Structure 1
Amino acid sequence: MNVQLFIPCFVDQLFPETAFNMVKVLEKLGCNVNYNPEQTCCGQPAFNAGYRDECKSVATKFVKDFRTYDYIVAPSGSCTGFVRNYYGKLFDNSATHNDVKLLKKNLFEFTEFLTEKLGVTNLGATLNGVGTYHDACGALRECGIKEGPRKLLENVKGLEMREMTDCETCCGFGGTFSVKFEPISVGMGEQKVLNAIDAGADYLISTDLSCLMHLDGYIRKHGHTVKTMHIADVLASGW
Structure 2
Amino acid sequence: MKVSLFTTCLGEMFYVDVLKDVTEILERLGCEVDVPEGQICCGQPAYNSGYAKDTKGPAKQMIKAFENSEYIVCPSGSCAAMFHEYPDFFADEPEWQERAKNIAEKTYEFTQFIVRVLGVVDVGAEYHARATLHTSCHMTRLLGERDSHYTLLKHVKGLDLVPLPNNYDCCGFGGTFSVKMFPISEQMVDEKIRHIEETDAEVLIGADASCLMNIGGRMKRLGKPVKVLHIAQVLNSHQTEGDERYADESRKSTVL
TM-score range, shorter chain: over 0.9
Indicate the larger mover: 143-152 or 20-29: 143-152
Equivalent residue number for residue 86 of structure 2: 87
CA positional deviation for 1:35: 0.6
SS class of match (1:96): helix
How far apart in 2 are the matches of 1:192 and 1:227?
A: 15
What residue in structure 1 maps to residue 42 of structure 2? 42
What is the RMSD computed on CA atoms of the aligned residues?
1.1
Which 5+ residue runs of structure 2 have no aligned equivalent? Answer: 240-256
How far apart are the structure 2 equivalents of 1:87 and 1:14? 25
The alpha carbon displacement at 1:93 in A equals: 3.4
State the secondary structure of the residue aligned to 1:196: helix
**Percent of paired sites with the same residue:** 38
Deviations along 1:37-96, one digit per CA (max 9) or x if unpaired, are 321111010111122232111111011101124000000110111220x21121113121
Q: 2:104 — aligned with what? A: 104
**1:121 maps to what in 2?**
121
Structure 2 residue 157 is matched with structure 1 residue 157: yes
* Number of aligned residue pairs: 238
Q: What letter matches 2:16 in structure 1?
A: P
Partner of 1:222: 222
In 1, the alpha carbon distance for the partners of 2:115 and 2:55 equals 31
Q: Does 1:70 align with 2:70?
A: yes
Residue 181 of structure 2 is matched in structure 1 by 181
* Amino acid paired to 2:221: K
Within-5 A mapping of 1:15-34: 15-34=15-34
Aligned to 1:213: 213
The answer to whether the 8 A contact 1:69-1:102 is kept is no
Find the counterpart in structure 1 of residue 232 from structure 2: 232
Structure 1, residues 195-230: CA drift from partner, whole Å, max 9, x if none? 111101111111101000000111100111111111
**TM-score, structure 2 length as denominator?**
0.90
- Partner of 2:220, secondary structure, is helix
Instruction: Describe the SS at the equivalent of 2:212.
Output: helix
Are 1:202 and 2:202 matched, yes or no? yes
Contact 1:5 1:34 (C-alpha < 8 Å) held by counterparts: yes
> Secondary structure of the equivalent of 2:200?
coil
Query: C-alpha distance in 1, partners of 2:129/2:200?
Result: 10
Aligned residue for 2:121, secondary structure, equals coil
Conserved in 1, the CA contact under 8 Å of 2:3 and 2:32?
Answer: yes
Q: Give the superposition deviation at 1:24.
A: 0.6
**Residue deviations 1:145-181, cap 9 Å, x none?**
1111111001111110000110111100000000011
Letter in 2 for 1:42: C
Q: Distance in 2 between matches of 1:52 and 1:112?
A: 27
Q: Quick check: 2:38–2:62 contact (8 Å CA) kept in 1?
A: no
Residues 101-120 of structure 1: per-residue CA shift (max 9 Å, x gap): 11011000001000000011
- Structure 1 SS opposite 2:237: coil
Counterpart position of 2:134: 134
